[in-house]
Amino acid sequence: MKWKGDKIEFEVYGTSHAPEIGVTAKGLPEVAFDAAGLSAFMDRRRAKKAAYSTARMEGDIPEISFSEDELRAVIKNGDVKSSDYNELYGIPRPSHADYAAHLMDGRLDFSGGGEFSGRLTAPLCVLGYMAKSYLSKKGIRVSAWVSEVGRVKGATYRNGLTEEMLSAGEKGEWSPLRKGEMLEEITRAAAEKDSVGGRIECAVTGYPGGIGGGLFGSLEGKISSLLYLIPAIKGVEFGAGFDLANMRGSEANDPLRVEGGKVAFIKNDAGGINGGISNGNDITLAVAVRPTPSIARKQQSIDLVKRENVEIEIKGRHDACIVPRAVPVVEAAVAIALADALLKEEK
Ligand SMILES: Cc1cc2nc3c(=O)[nH]c(=O)nc-3n(C[C@H](O)[C@H](O)[C@H](O)COP(=O)(O)O)c2cc1C
């Protein structure tokens, strides 16, 4: 898996049940490496002993080395239990990557989700932390939070961006509003051998205007290409996003004003980007996270070896809701994209 930006390029390697996973990267900005800060950031993605979280416990402590201009981060996979998948040999889990991966390379062993596992987002967080640190030195803040879980709707930038939303992650919280009800929604789904999805929002303050470009230079394109690397993300929108489809131009447009000699926008339904270029307004975006595909409930699938229909009950250790753990990963993806676009402008 390789991503190539204008300045930053990186490759994530490994699989969920391999001895290790990791990332190699070039073109990263030079930042003073803060081990405690990185550890706190990685901790936000780590599985916790919580209702929504897998029982798989990983330390997620990266070993980081630099040689010339290349960074290498290695994370050991400690808590591997492939036996959970023995009964599922040749049987794809509905809506996981199993069947699509079988079509790609003929595989029948779907242990741990292979390279499609959410585990592979840990190395992305290492790079994301570096990108966030670089942006932060320039007064740019990248903040994400859970805004919806199942049918519970919490804080959204659509009602105005607040400090609670921006600081939730820094305080180690995943949602600034209605977290209790969200947890109940997850617990209810898990008790019914089911899973729930949700919506993560992200806001970027302090990002300069004029960064990005038309066509292949699009900032929305660059950000989205990294957000879609995150497994389980099935939708991305900027500003008012899909609601823009039902608005009139007079409602959707963000009027411009001069206030105290400075240009300001009256509102921000474009999400801070026009024509693929940042317009100086806050960048706001949201992602839709699907319910975890691996559910314990009985489901229909097929046995690819015997070519017959089967009913499966997935054992294994799975998050009943991926949404809280994906929050720092969204910050990481957005920060890498925005750092790359900014580095391109630096001489
Ligand atoms: C942090 C994180 C943890 C995940 N944990 C699980 C899990 O425990 N069980 C599962 O079936 N899927 C899990 N996923 C989602 C699957 O990896 C994903 O749905 C699958 O690869 C198919 O990709 P798609 O949903 O993007 O199409 C997780 C995703 C993330 C980001």
Residues with CB under 6 A from ligand 1: 54, 96-97, 113, 116-118, 121, 230-232, 290, 292-294, 318-319, 322, 325-326, 329
Q: Are the CB atoms for 237 and 285 separated by under 8 Å?
A: yes
Cα 220 to its chain centre, rounded Å, is 15
Predicted pLDDT at 176: 97
CA neighbor of 169 nearest in space, from 317, 314, 326: 326
Question: Taken in order 199, 202, 203, 209, is the CA torsion positive or negative?
Answer: negative
Copy the structure tokens of residue 113: 């989700």
Q: Using CA atoms, how far apart are residues 182 and 154, in angstroms rounded to an integer?
A: 9
The DSSP secondary-structure symbol of 245 reads G
The domain limits of the chain are 2-345
Taking the chain (347 residues) in runs of 10, the rounded mean pLDDT of each run is 94 90 93 87 84 68 88 86 76 97 96 88 95 97 98 98 97 96 97 97 98 95 98 98 98 97 96 98 98 96 98 88 97 98 90
Count Cα neighbours of 184 within 13 Å in the Cβ-side half-sphere: 7
C-alpha distances (whole Å) from 243 to each of 164, 222, 263, 268 are 24, 22, 26, 13
How, if at all, do strands 283-289 and 198-205 pair?
antiparallel
Q: What value does the mean pLDDT of the chain take?
A: 93
Give residue 163's identity as a one-letter amino acid code: E
Predicted pLDDT at 49: 67
How close is the Cα of 234 to the center of ligand 1, in Å? Answer: 11
How close is the Cα of 340 to the center of ligand 1, in Å? Answer: 26
Q: Using CA atoms, how far apart are residues 108 and 223, in angstroms rounded to an integer?
A: 33
Give me the torsion for CA of 170, 173, 176, 181, rounded to 10°.
Answer: 170
Predicted pLDDT at 34: 85
Predicted pLDDT at 57: 63
How close is the Cα of 271 to the center of ligand 1, in Å? Answer: 27
How close is the Cα of 93 to the center of ligand 1, in Å? Answer: 11
Residue bearing the CA closest to ligand 1, atom 20: 96
How close is the Cα of 292 to the center of ligand 1, in Å? Answer: 6
Predicted pLDDT at 58: 64
Predicted pLDDT at 82: 61
> Measured between alpha carbons, how far apart are the two ends of the chain, in Å?
29
pTM value? 0.96
Pick the CATH number of 2-345 from 2.60.40.10, 3.30.70.80, 3.40.190.10, 3.60.150.10: 3.60.150.10
Other C-beta atoms within 10 Å of 116: how many? 19
| pLDDT one-digit tens code per residue, 278-317 | 999 999 999 999 999 999 999 999 999 999 999 999 987 7
Percent of the chain with pLDDT over 70: 95
Give residue 300's identity as a one-letter amino acid code: Q
Question: Taken in order 168, 172, 174, 176, is the CA torsion positive or negative?
Answer: negative
Instruction: Specify the 3-state DSSP secondary structure of 65.
Output: strand
Atom of ligand 1 nearest to the CA of 228: 26
Residue bearing the CA closest to ligand 1, atom 3: 118
What is the gyration radius of the CA atoms in the chain, in angstroms?
Answer: 21
Predicted pLDDT at 347: 65
The DSSP secondary-structure symbol of 186 reads H
Predicted pLDDT at 190: 95
Predicted pLDDT at 51: 66
Copy the structure tokens of residue 144: 């994400």
Predicted pLDDT at 137: 95
| pLDDT one-digit tens code per residue, 39-90 | 999 999 987 767 667 666 666 789 999 888 899 999 998 766 666 667 889 9
Atom of ligand 1 nearest to the CA of 295: 11
